[in-house]
Amino acid sequence: MTTRPTAWISAAGVASPSGSSLGRLWRSALEGRISISESESFAPDSYASSLAGQVSDFDAAEVPGRLKPTTDRSTQLALIAAKRALEALPDRYADGDPYLRSIVTANSAGGYAFGERELRNMYLHGPKYVSTAQSYAWFYAVNTGQLSIRYGFKGRCSTVVADSAGGLDAIAQGTELIQQGQQLVLAGSVESALSPLAWVSLESTGRLTSSKAPEASYLPFDKRASGIVPAEGGALLALTPEPIGDGASSIGVLGHARTMTVNEPQEASLERTIRKALDAASLEPVDIDVVFADAAGVFEDDIAEANALAAVFGARKVPVTAPKAGFGRTASGMGPLDTVLAALALRTKIIPPTPAVSISDELPIRIETAPVRVPTMRHALVIARGLPIFTSALVIGIR
């Protein structure tokens, strides 16, 4: 079955521990590279968890000089990702009506490190030492604001807050704006919350791994799983009403659904979300060629996701992968990064592996642990879950 996309993914900019260009990210994913290391943002000695996925190829020279002292690292990463996405578009989009260009980002933490620094200045030195940028640099909506100012987007600009599910919801809202007549929407999320205050907040969830070995730290769908590895990064997608370039390999957004898990098991909520996304895309379960899983890294949650996938697709019927096991979970940036990886998989006809894991036989799903070529691949499902109740699923497809 085929269906026409309601918006096209015409370009993307990424920031990730595995590389901040599409080429580097994709090569790392295919190789199953582990891009996890001990935190360099703060001394981890006094914390139970010390591993993180960190963007190592960030070039501060690309951030406008006047913005450097007034923006958090998460905003700086977002500015560069947006620059990459917009540079890949034809000139007509750069010169378009600013009121027909919109931005939808997601965020779960805001400018954590910036806010923490300014609060420390106030505590140690007094209010006169607090930057006036504190009034906005810490806020959830700061990336949308800075991007809209920097690139002159004057259409609807908004921010989604739904923890790790928010990035997929942002893409869905961007798709709705394209349907309503916008000519270009920048949608997705980029986050960075690797500071002492952020780390204390993350550790309080009880979901961080205490492993000291990067290759054995974030192990979704593996009985050895001990929790997640937080990471910084994400992706911003340029959505357009028509495909750009080679129409035969254009990737479009086909359907989306979101639910909240309230008074029901996780797997029931997730199954309902997946089925609603397939219905929105006018597709049947058999039409999905690969699933990019949420991959919680907490075995009980992984079991729930596996059971939901088996309920929809049948036991071990559809290939499932989680390349982010190699670099960690990037909060609300996770879903957009997975969407970019899924789009690259559809275009190249290769499913990237889930690195370092040993899959439990008791799970009723087929996790790919090596690259797999699927010449007929056309549709991908991306799943993201956020604490405490958010679930999101996005279907994309190749023309």
pLDDT at position 122 over 90: yes
Report pLDDT for 360: 80
Q: What is the pLDDT of residues 328-383, one digit of tens each?
A: 999 999 999 999 999 999 999 999 999 999 988 889 999 999 999 999 999 999 99
pLDDT at position 1 over 90: no
Say how many Å lie between the first and final Cα of the chain, rounded: 12
Q: Which residue has the tokens 């600009």?
A: 157
Query: Pairing state of beta strands 7-15 and 233-240?
Result: antiparallel
Using a pLDDT cut of 90, give the percent of the chain over it: 86
Per-residue pLDDT averaged across 107-120, rounded? 92
Question: Among the listed ranges 74-78, 243-247, 325-329, which one has the minimum average pLDDT value?
Answer: 243-247
Query: Predicted confidence band at 46 (pLDDT cuts at 50, 70, 90)?
Result: confident
Tallying the residues shown for the chain, one arrives at 399
Q: What is the largest CA-CA distance in the chain?
A: 64
Across the chain, mean pLDDT equals: 94
Report pLDDT for 60: 83
| Structural domains of the chain sorted by starting position, each given as residue range(s) with its CATH number in brackets | 7-240 (3.40.47.10), 249-398 (3.40.47.10)
CA 180 to chain centroid:
24
pLDDT at position 2 over 80: no
- Cα–Cα dist 160/210, whole Å: 30
Q: Are 6 and 300 in contact (CB under 8 A)?
A: no
Question: Among the listed ranges 4-8, 63-67, 269-273, 395-399, which one has the minimum average pLDDT value?
Answer: 4-8
Q: What is the pLDDT of residues 181-195, one digit of tens each?
A: 999 999 999 999 999
CA 60 to chain centroid:
22
Q: What is the pLDDT of residues 232-262, one digit of tens each?
A: 999 999 999 999 865 556 899 999 999 998 8
Give 3-state DSSP helix, strand, coil % of the chain, rounded to 5: 40, 20, 40
Q: What is the pLDDT of residues 216-232, one digit of tens each?
A: 999 999 999 999 999 99
Q: What is the pTM of this model?
A: 0.96
What letter would DSSP give residue 202? H
Using a pLDDT cut of 70, give the percent of the chain over it: 98
Q: Are 370 and 315 in contact (CB under 8 A)?
A: no
Per-residue pLDDT averaged across 133-157, rounded? 95
